Amino acid sequence: MELITSFPLAEIFILFISAFLMPFFKKDKHIKIISISFLLIAFILSVFTLMFVFQNGPFYYAAGHIDTILGIQLYIGPVEALLSFVFLFVFILVVWFSFSTIDAEIQENRIKLFYIMVNLLAASILGIIFTNDIFNGYVFIEVAALTSCGIVVVKETQENIKAALKYLIMSTIGSGLILMGIAFIYAFTGHLNIELIHQVVLEDHETFQKSLLITVALFTAGLGVKSAMFPLHTWLPDAHSSAPTASSALLSAIVLKAFAFFLIKILYRMIGFDLVNQFSILTIILILGCCGMIFGSLSAIFQKNIKRLIAYSSIAQMGYVFFGIGLGSPFGAAIAVYHMVGHAVTKSALFMCSGLMIEETGHKTIDRYKGLGHEMPITFALFTLGAFSMIGIPILPGFISKWYLSLECIHLDKLLLIFVVLSSSLLNAVYYFPILINGFFGIENLQDKEYRSKKVPVKKTIPIAILILAMILIGALSKNILDFISPEFGL
Amino acid sequence: MTLLHNYYESASIILFGIGLCTLMLNQNLIKKIIGMNIMDTSIFLFLVSKGYIAGRSAPIITENYQGVNAYVNPIPSALILTGIVVAVSVTAFLLALTIKLYESYGTVDLEEILKMKGDDHGVNNKLPFS
Amino acid sequence: MPNILIVAPILFPFILSALLFLNDWEEKTRNRWILWGIILNFFILIFNFSVLEVNRIHILKFNEFVDIYFKIDMIGIVFSLLVSFLWILTAFYSIGYMAHERKPNRFFIFFTATLGVTIGIALAGNLVTLYLFYELLTLFTFPLVIHAGNETALKAGYKYLIYSFTGATLSLFGMFMIYSQTQNLDFMPGGILNVINENEIFYYFTAYALTFCGFGVKAGLVPFHSWLPSAMIAPTPVSALLHAVAVVKSGIFALVRITYYIFGPALILMIKGNHFALALILITILTGSFLAIHQTNLKKRLAYSTISQLGYIMLGLVVFNPNSFTGGMLHMIFHALIKITLFFCVGAIMHITGKTEIHEIQGLGKQLPKLMWCFSLSAVALIGIPPTSGFVSKWYLATGGLQSGSFIIPVVLLLSALLTAGYLLPIITIAFFKPIPNGEPVYQEPLPFMLIPIMILTGIVLLIGLFPNPIINVLETIANTVI
């Protein structure tokens, strides 16, 4: 039992170690094996952690057994265990997928770098999720920011460098704000541990009410930049659309979520529900979430590059997460987490499908995808299922989160917000359906063309298929998942 | 008057503002990076001033231990050290990217770079259903 | 688990559809599978209704809200029997019709699957299940609408999708509003909402208006009707079955469910939801009739006539009088039978002669007497000249309207009946009394595959007008339980 509690730290460590091991190997093949095998080990550990948390409830782990005031502490509750499990799962599948596609996308001498970055990213994401210490969180956030820029720029085209620079600059602004927030909170509580800060804040928040508001605002803005909250999302479409497919999948599916989850930690664990609800900050998050849901979808309608379209859709989907956070109720936060889980799986699958489509057709624009459903039926069918979840076809996770969000709106007596949720899901339909319809029923491109369905090796689609399967499972088990994570938020 | 009494904090917030403005408003990439460094440094100043207690020495034991009350709070210093490392690495990465960008675009002005449109930047002007 | 049989008639068409998808059968084998499958499904349905003791089944229950639940009740039986019976005839007709069209396989895949979806709507035990199948209906009928595959068809398809999804979204919004009050969306005769106090009237009115408009989109409610004429681009069996029977009648059925099984007449009267609905419906009836007169395309004229006739049915639903309810439901059945016949005839005309405009069919009555007689008899029935079936339903509607003390309803009914005559009779006169233009080739009567369903349907239309009592008895029983 004692051993299992150290697994989270071990996960982070072995991933870091694997990243540092890689430079010693020369062959790309070995690098790939190291990358996935260490991810696999971490995944197995996360399964144990999840089971442990499921049976015994949340636990703390002091790294190095130092007294908590000085030392770094990890907190692993149901949400943390679940998120680390799902994210590692996605990581493994994306890395698996990348084996067959990455060679064509980036230069040969960058492949090693790519996998080093991926494993570092995985480690830092886990760090962000587990840590109970905000400064430690900041360090992990920086590592995540650098590595995620790294996996964008690893494909060295003009477009990529530009996008990565834009991303890095925006992300630097975010980091600056977060660090300032940390300095503030440390200045008047004297702690860096989330739990200890929470106690101090509870006791005498009246003496530094305004400073607390500034701190929360700094954290919200800083993490908002990094997780593409509505007006701060400008870097996202460039970065996500120009990156190699595997990177786009990771960035969209995981990195955004980790930052948003850190925001949940700050708002709800560090400050606390009751106190946060007194600030107008939640209303702002809610409004920005709504704007993101609507404008993200509206912008997606006008895109003709498929990866940009999916990237804009990510902004809309992050809007749902912020919507859930901004509702200011425990259940709202739980749905936000659920949406993260569902969206992580779905969006990575969508990006990987789009990557295969681009690879096979050689075109990035959606008007060239007419009749694609006949050319590459498996890939396109998987894409369709993923898109269905985004649109909100019942039982798939996209629907479930919209459903619960609406219910929670009713519960909180904010009926008008349902309208936003529903119109956003309608907008999702507006931009996903043309692709699907043209893919299955548009036949213009098929004339005088050989059917290439046999050319897409099934091997490439297996990871996507597994993700889609997981997506359906997440939809079907939504009640269990929500039951599992809601106690964390005091339900 | 409190502003003057807390001159470390005031100075660091002013610096933070200067850094943030430089970072956001300047189009020159090098200046942006400088702005970022100013911003980070201001935070370090803020933190270190929080840890400093007038009349105490640095928490480094040279000859003999003089009791807890003789030293300043060491945690901010430790944090800043980490922060500096992070800032340096980010700066290095940014500079590397800037060099790459300069090689391919011939300019470090972000506005000009963004004007040079890439291949598939296009936006569909037509509504899908019109 | 005998009660799992309840879902058999819903699942079976899907299995059939999957078989069609997976096997690349010869045309004859395929046709045999389709026909026997659909006929078998009809008998499974009858078997279910007569034998099963348990009449409800929960398939999946996530929580109080998302709960897939089927329940057999009288009105569901009526609707599902109607649908699956017409499906058999349409299957025969389509096999004749699709023989020379493109991609018959794809057509039949979705054609069979839609049967399952429609029966799912009929047997849904709560609003969530109904909503689920309602969305599925849109998805499964969409490929049928755009079957022609050209630009116009795709555009019509998009229009259909957007209208349907917007409608479904509106009704979903309404559902949330209801659920937030009741925590339960199971259908109960007479409604699940209790009578409420004054200050909640507006809330419930909004909820009712939203769900009514939302489901009204599929029922061709003006001003949400414009997808219906556009969707006539589809192959005729699709127009006939889906846009005169399955889709629009599913809309109507959903309206019945929310009006009588969720809100309940008492509550709607209290919130004055019926006034709102009545206004829209009267506009629908008149707009549909007036627009129909101006159409020169046969199919389009029938489409607008559908809109107006659907107005009658909805009218019967919101007067809250047992007679009107019976009349509305009767008209739902009669209209389904009549309109499908009319569409089949028009499709056969198109198939044989390639003619789509009304002025082109001069003298066709002499060349294709059997077909045109069937058309004329059904048209007369739709106009409502006694003793045809249309008269019976309109009579019930009018008496219901009078009993509820409203004079505008009979007036509109009469006016619209005149208009109906105005747009249907010219077709008959042109076909029978105009001379055959010079140089017209001699046409053959349609294939038996197409002609026999038309004749059977015409026979039923006539018979049912003479002996409507068994159906009326069933409907009156239902009417007494819900009002």
- The residues on A that touch B, with CB distances below 8 Å, are 70, 135, 138-139, 142, 145-146, 149-150, 153, 156, 158-159, 161-162, 164-166, 168-169, 172-173, 175-176, 179-180, 183, 186-187, 192, 242, 301-305, 364-365, 430-431, 434
- Answer with the residue of higher pLDDT: C321 or A341: A341
Cβ-proximal residues to A36 (8 Å cutoff; 6+ apart), any chain: A92, A95, A96, A99
Of C61-75, C199-213, C410-424, C450-464, the range with the lowest mean pLDDT is C61-75
pLDDT on residue A49: 92
CA–CA gap between residue C154 and residue C156 (Å, rounded): 5
- Is it the case that residue C1 has pLDDT exceeding 80? no
Range of the domain at A481: 280-491
CB contact under 8 A, A176 and B16: yes
Which chains are within 8 Å of C by 3+ CB pairs? Answer: A, B
**Token pair 């480094």 is at which residue?**
B60
The whole-number average pLDDT for the span A55-65 is 81
Domain count, chain A: 1
Residue of C nearest to A428 (CA): C165
pTM (two decimals): 0.84
* Residue C309 half-sphere exposure toward CB, CA atoms < 13 A: 36
Which chains are within 8 Å of B by 3+ CB pairs? Answer: A, C
Single out the residue of A180, A182, A172, A171 nearest to residue A135, CA to CA: A182
Average predicted confidence (pLDDT) for chain B: 79
CB contact under 8 A, B39 and A176: yes
CB contact under 8 A, A175 and B90: yes
Residue B41 lies in a domain: yes
Q: Is B67 left (phi over 0), alpha (psi -120 to 50) or beta?
A: left
Distance (Å) from the alpha carbon of A436 to chain B's nearest alpha carbon: 13
pLDDT on residue C303: 87
- Give chain A's length: 491
To the nearest whole percent, how much of chain A has pLDDT over 70? 95
- Is it the case that residue A418 has pLDDT exceeding 50? yes
% helix, strand, coil for chain B, step of 5: 65, 5, 30
Q: Do C240 and C339 meet the contact criterion of CB atoms below 8 Å apart? A: yes
- Is it the case that residue A451 has pLDDT exceeding 60? no
**Best of A406, A420, A477 to disrupt the C interface by mutation (most C CBs within 10 Å)?**
A406
Distance (Å) from the alpha carbon of A146 to chain B's nearest alpha carbon: 7
Range of the domain at B106: 2-54+72-115
Among A150, A162, A301, select the one facing B101 at the smallest CB separation. A162
CB contact under 8 A, A393 and C135: yes
Of A65-69, A351-355, C95-99, C433-437, the range with the lowest mean pLDDT is A65-69
Average predicted confidence (pLDDT) for chain C: 85
pLDDT on residue A447: 58
Summarize pLDDT for C444-453 with one digit per residue, the tens: 777 778 888 8
Summarize pLDDT for A123-158 with one digit per residue, the tens: 999 999 999 889 889 999 999 999 999 999 888 888
Summarize pLDDT for C355-373 with one digit per residue, the tens: 888 888 888 888 888 888 8
Residue A196 lies in a domain: no
The whole-number average pLDDT for the span A320-335 is 91
Residue B92 lies in a domain: yes
C56 bridge partner residues: C71
pLDDT on residue B117: 60
Which residues in B lie closer than 8 A to residue A304 (C-beta atoms)? Answer: 122-124
Most confident of A28-37, A373-382, A391-400: A28-37
CATH number at residue B37: 1.10.287.3510
Residue B61 lies in a domain: no
- Is it the case that residue B13 has pLDDT exceeding 70? yes
pLDDT on residue B38: 92
Residue A352 lies in a domain: yes
Give the pLDDT band of residue B120 (cuts 50, 70, 90): very low
Query: How many angstroms separate the Cα of C2 from the Cα of each of A173, C51, C85?
Result: 64, 10, 24
Sign (positive/negative) of CA torsion C81, C82, C83, C87?
Answer: positive
Residue of A nearest to C129 (CA): A394
- Is it the case that residue C315 has pLDDT exceeding 90? no
CA–CA gap between residue C455 and residue C453 (Å, rounded): 5
Among B43, B93, B104, select the one facing A179 at the smallest CB separation. B43
Q: How far is CA C477 from the centre of its chain?
A: 22
Average predicted confidence (pLDDT) for chain A: 87
Single out the residue of A144, A273, A275, A291 nearest to residue A213, CA to CA: A275
| A415 contacts chain C (CB < 8 A) | yes
CA–CA gap between residue B91 and residue B15 (Å, rounded): 18
- Is it the case that residue C101 has pLDDT exceeding 80? no
Residue B103 lies in a domain: yes
Distance (Å) from the alpha carbon of B71 to chain A's nearest alpha carbon: 16
3-state secondary structure of A18: helix
Taking residue A54's Cβ as centre, other Cβ atoms within 10 Å add up to 12
Summarize pLDDT for C380-396 with one digit per residue, the tens: 888 888 778 888 888 88
- Is it the case that residue C222 has pLDDT exceeding 90? no
CA–CA gap between residue C85 and residue C43 (Å, rounded): 10
Sign (positive/negative) of CA torsion B84, B85, B88, B93?
Answer: negative
Burial grade of C349 (CB within 10 A; 0-12, 13-18, 19 or more): buried
To the nearest whole percent, how much of chain C has pLDDT over 90? 2
Q: How far is CA C75 from the centre of its chain?
A: 14
CA–CA gap between residue A43 and residue B27 (Å, rounded): 43
| C165 contacts chain B (CB < 8 A) | no
Summarize pLDDT for C419-430 with one digit per residue, the tens: 888 888 888 888
Sign (positive/negative) of CA torsion A298, A299, A303, A306?
Answer: negative
CB contact under 8 A, B124 and A302: yes
Domain count, chain B: 1
CB contact under 8 A, A426 and C166: yes
Distance (Å) from the alpha carbon of C233 to chain B's nearest alpha carbon: 17
Residue of A nearest to C172 (CA): A422
Of B12-21, B40-49, B61-70, the range with the lowest mean pLDDT is B61-70
Q: Both tokens of residue C257?
A: 């469910």
Which residues in A lie closer than 8 A to residue C165 (C-beta atoms)? Answer: 426, 429
Residue A425 lies in a domain: yes
Which residues in B lie closer than 8 A to residue A146 (C-beta atoms)? Answer: 89-90, 93
Residue A75 lies in a domain: no
Summarize pLDDT for B53-110 with one digit per residue, the tens: 777 777 777 777 777 777 777 788 888 888 899 899 999 999 998 898 888 888 888 7
CA–CA gap between residue C472 and residue C357 (Å, rounded): 37
